[in-house]
Structure 1
């Protein structure tokens, strides 16, 4: 079966939402053993209603989440895509306003009700204006943990800027790197988050060109390793990332209650890379990353972008596609990003 570039674009955007919405039911509170038992009882990874795990309204408390409901991973991916489409470049203030509209104002792009939020995101987007947020960052008021909130939304960056050719002689890798970094800086300024976004963007760039995930990551490593004679520790950690399956007890859970690493950006990238490289098809990759436990919806969103770019939208199971709320919006965004990149 031929997979066109447009198929890959659609697969990347819809795959992000698919991994997010299907795995949100297992987020944070489930162990790998519990997830395995639940999936077996349902006959696999089956979209279903669930009781939410959320900090903020309208889902704070105990309410039922409908199957196919996207979380902030998908919503913020859509918000970044909309900004890149409208501005045709990175406008940090516009990105800030769109992210804030979801996180603070609870205005959904994909469905009727906004669901999902992260602590780092809420702190970064609390200020009413981007300028005030920048001032708070510079004053050290906003925390900068190595969390995954900018990586999970990053898929539109390689779609828009990964494979363009520029008449001014600027290499697309430089522009792609810059956009990946600065979109992260809007909310996540930790160096690990910045380099994770860069690595993910370059990997998806190579996957879009037809490289299998393993080969795409190999090319990404070689490219990034050659940028600096003495790279900073955070960049080196990304380039030398462990591609083995993360162990829940050793790598994720932490030694004390409340001290887990579920939302760490390096772990999140590692989980997505492992699942994508080992996957035999789209569904296999999503199931693999979901069964790890931890921040499952975010791992699924990150892996879903890679897997969707590799297998195309036709590689996503139809019974998963059919329940995704906002699926057609994600397809439309993918088409518009394709047009920007290939105009």
Structure 2
């Protein structure tokens, strides 16, 4: 049985982390400390020059997925890709390079199953495994929390629309199974997720995540846009925190790719602690609060079919 509070928490936590991190994206931890001390509140302006509480592509694309699942009542890759394309046409202020390239390929007539792969194959190692898809994959964890085989499949297929690299696909799988485990109230969701994928996922990803949290020191964590780094850091911050607020603040103040770190950490911590544990002052400020709550509840309570 999926907890509705935890389901809403996953989506709201994602948006809170995204919005908290957006104004200081690309800044170093030293710069953040010098300018803000510790970022604990929704800031206006900053990177991208937006009002306080404004989210980025991560929440926008999670909403595309969540709305598709709720309206289609199934995983429909083409419908999700269509929603990504419509969103892209509105000229968002923030979008990753691989995401933009994959959506452009789809708009040019390539299948949703092939667009991300085509972009990935053209990119050199070091620029082909970004963290975008783990930022917005959480709706699948809610919709398919009780169907683990389907969650495996849709996590990979959804990632591949924009991020085809196996590290991205299985990064989404590990993240979604961890979130789904929290939604069900499992005792050790991350370990269960690792066991589930370890025979198939890239060794680098599995062995890096296996270190979390007890075999790592805080100063070993990275704030880059590499999917393996982001997933490891976000899982560590979530597992070592006592509240979702603490987890998200820790991630954001690491600097670097702060909106993605905040969003990924927020999605896990929101699922672990629930929506009721998120700070009211954040929830009152973030964009799309009502939509995120309604979609979280809908995905948790409405049966979603396995295939289109």
TM-score bin, normalised by smaller chain: 0.7 to 0.9
Aligned to 2:81: 96
1:87 aligns with 2:72: yes
CA contact (8 A) 1:70 1:115 kept: no
In the aligned structure 2, how far is the partner of 1:263 from the partner of 1:118? 10
Q: After TM superposition, give the deviation of residue 240 of structure 1 in Å.
A: 3.0
Aligned to 2:8: 10
In the aligned structure 2, how far is the partner of 1:232 from the partner of 1:10? 31
Q: Deviations over 1:14-68 (max 9, x none)?
A: 110000011111111x111222334437xx5111212334xxxxxxxxxx31000
1:221 aligns with 2:218: no
Choose from 165, 168, 186 the match for 2:161. Answer: 186
In the aligned structure 2, how far is the partner of 1:245 from the partner of 1:178? 33
Aligned to 1:33: 30
In the aligned structure 2, how far is the partner of 1:302 from the partner of 1:135? 24
Q: Deviations over 1:211-238 (max 9, x none)?
A: 46xx22122223333x45xx64355345
Choose from 35, 48, 52 the match for 2:47. Answer: 52
Aligned to 1:233: 203
Choose from 256, 267, 275 the match for 2:229. Answer: 267
In the aligned structure 2, how far is the partner of 1:70 from the partner of 1:121? 17
1:324 aligns with 2:294: no
In the aligned structure 1, how far is the partner of 2:70 from the partner of 2:59? 16
In the aligned structure 2, how far is the partner of 1:138 from the partner of 1:145? 11
Choose from 144, 161, 164 the match for 1:161. Answer: 144
Aligned to 2:93: 115
Aligned to 1:334: 296
In the aligned structure 2, how far is the partner of 1:39 from the partner of 1:223? 41
Q: Extract unaligned runs of 5+ from structure 2.
A: none
Aligned to 1:256: none
CA contact (8 A) 1:84 1:160 kept: yes
User: What secondary structure does 2:136 align onto?
Assistant: coil
CA contact (8 A) 1:16 1:74 kept: yes
Q: After TM superposition, give the deviation of residue 282 of structure 1 in Å.
A: 1.1
1:131 aligns with 2:110: yes
User: What secondary structure does 1:101 align onto?
Assistant: helix
Compared with structure 1, are the counterparts of its residues 251 and 277 closer, same or farther at alpha carbon in structure 2 (3 Å cutoff)?
closer
Structure 1 moving runs of 4+ over 4 Å: 138-142
Normalization by structure 1: what TM-score? 0.79
1:282 aligns with 2:250: no
In the aligned structure 2, how far is the partner of 1:288 from the partner of 1:140? 31
Compared with structure 1, are the counterparts of its residues 15 and 130 closer, same or farther at alpha carbon in structure 2 (3 Å cutoff)?
farther
CA contact (8 A) 1:195 1:238 kept: no
In the aligned structure 1, how far is the partner of 2:109 from the partner of 2:262? 29
Compared with structure 1, are the counterparts of its residues 216 and 36 closer, same or farther at alpha carbon in structure 2 (3 Å cutoff)?
farther
Bigger radius of gyration among the two = 1
Q: After TM superposition, give the deviation of residue 140 of structure 1 in Å.
A: 6.8
CA contact (8 A) 2:221 2:232 kept: no
In the aligned structure 2, how far is the partner of 1:139 from the partner of 1:199? 23
In the aligned structure 2, how far is the partner of 1:180 from the partner of 1:204? 12
Count the aligned residue pairs. Answer: 297
In the aligned structure 1, how far is the partner of 2:303 from the partner of 2:265? 22
Normalization by structure 2: what TM-score? 0.88
| Alignment RMSD | 2.5
